[in-house]
Amino acid sequence: GVEKKILVIPGDGIGQEVTAWGQKVLMAIAQNYHHTFTFEEGIMGHVAIEATGNPLPDETLEKARRSDAILFGAIGHAKYDNDPTLKVRPEQGLLKIRKELGLYANLRPIKLFDELLEASSIKPEILRGADILFFRELTGDVYFGEKIRTADRNTASDLMIYHRYEVERIARKAYEAARTRRKKLCSVDKANVLEASRLWREVVQEVAKEYPDVETEHMFIDNAAMQLIKDPKRFDVVVTGNLFGDILTDEASQIAGSMGMLASASVGDSTGFYEPIHGSAHDIAGKGIANPLASILSAALLLDISFGLKTESQRVIKAVEATLRQGFRTMDIANKHTVNDCIMGTDAMGAKVLENLN
């Protein structure tokens, strides 16, 4: 067995409820496969601001640096959403840890479990067989460019900026992945308007030459947002910038039936960081009804990508599949048009997955 240190950061809102299940699944895997996983817990986001005034306390960052992988929940709180003038904000914690750990590549696999074919607002015949792997650049773009508010507070700006090396490294990661899949890569930008996108396109065109076996397509973001719904099957690997990736992957959650099903892996220079795509969801936080599967599937990604434990990772995915096949559903993935499903809360759903792991 392997010995690994895992940092768990539940964060805000439903992060507190679902992350416990990602962790329990990791503990069960450790036991079943004779690995030794030791867990630490860290705070980040609104909970960290409340406790320390800092959305990413140094202590959490230190724990992150000395861990082998990080399982994260969600970030954000209505208080800050309602008051855009607040200076210290939960999201700063998430952005800072991404930057500090050099997590420049955010992988977001979008795949529909057959059992959920009817849960989406999109027609089953459009969805069947869709399987997309997004590479979202995560440490550049308008997220990290200089932010200015004039003294009179009447003008505000953010710099959308990309450097050649940033585009190169994420493009390479995406092409490498495309090679192991259906060998199609779609790069998304807005090169007809934005200079940063023109650099993006130039660099991807260059990197493409190193991968003549992969078919490259360039698409404008507006068109991509449309094609994703019109014909999701046309996509294999999609690579795009931080902002466009944020938008497209949330949109793509509808291909997987629900946001509550989607996991992501952020990787780069060192420790990998795993989190559901969904946010803190204040509207349902504390009610015990959030879907724990995105956290559990994030744990599966962690096992695979950070620890190289492919069998264990597949085991988790199979347990999720089995749970769905048995008809168990959280609210977000219930099929409103049949009464066969058994709708349950976060803990009951998590427990079913654990049962199916054994």
Ligand X SMILES: CC(C)[C@H](C(=O)O)[C@@H](O)C(=O)O
Which residue among 4, 35, 98, 201 contacts a copy of itself (CB under 8 A)?
A: 201
> Is residue 231 close enough to count as binding ligand X by CB under 6 A?
no
Which residue among 176, 231, 269, 355 contacts a copy of itself (CB under 8 A)?
A: 231
174 binds, among a copy of itself, ligand X, none (CB under 5 to 8 A by kind): none
Report CA-CA distances (Å) from 94 to 61, 114, 139, 316: 11, 33, 11, 26
> Is residue 94 close enough to count as binding ligand X by CB under 6 A?
yes
Measured in degrees and rounded to the nearest 5, phi and psi for residue 157 equal -145, 155
> Is residue 161 close enough to count as binding a copy of itself by CB under 8 A?
yes
User: Could you give the CA distance from residue 128 to residue 117 in angstroms, rounded to a whole number?
Assistant: 7
> Is residue 193 close enough to count as binding a copy of itself by CB under 8 A?
yes
Closest C-alpha to 13, from 302, 287, 353 = 287
> Is residue 148 close enough to count as binding a copy of itself by CB under 8 A?
yes
Closest C-alpha to 178, from 210, 209, 204, 215 = 215
Nearer to a copy of itself, 84 or 212 (CB): 84
128 binds, among a copy of itself, ligand X, none (CB under 5 to 8 A by kind): none
Alpha-helix residue ranges (DSSP H) falling in 231-307: 242-252, 293-305
User: Could you give the CA distance from residue 131 to residue 261 in angstroms, rounded to a whole number?
Assistant: 14
To the question of whether residue 158 is assigned a binding role by annotation, the answer is no
Residue with structure tokens 């130039």?
A: 202
Are the C-beta atoms of residues 122 and 230 closer than 8 Å to each other? Answer: no
Cβ at position 9, least distance to a copy of itself in Å: 18
Closest C-alpha to 296, from 262, 329, 338 = 262
User: Could you give the CA distance from residue 200 to residue 194 in angstroms, rounded to a whole number?
Assistant: 10
Choice among 246, 304, 332, 341 that is catalytic: 246
Is residue 211 annotated as part of the catalytic site, yes or no? no
> Is residue 233 close enough to count as binding a copy of itself by CB under 8 A?
no
Residue with structure tokens 């952020």?
A: 266
Is residue 143 annotated as part of the catalytic site, yes or no? yes
HEC-encoded secondary structure of 1-17: CCEEEEEEEEECCCHHH
131 binds, among ligand X, a copy of itself, none (CB under 5 to 8 A by kind): none
Cβ at position 290, least distance to ligand X in Å: 16
Distance of CA 113 to the CA centre of its chain: 17
Is residue 246 annotated as part of the catalytic site, yes or no? yes
Nearer to a copy of itself, 31 or 157 (CB): 157
Which residue among 221, 299, 300, 324 contacts a copy of itself (CB under 8 A)?
A: 221
Numbered residues of the known binding site for substrate:
98, 108, 136, 222
Residues that bind a copy of itself (CB under 8 A): 76, 80-81, 84-85, 89-91, 95, 121-123, 126, 142-143, 145, 147-149, 153-165, 190-202, 205, 218, 221-223, 225-226, 228-231, 243-244, 246-251, 253-254, 259, 279
Active centre residues (catalytic): 143, 190, 222, 246, 250
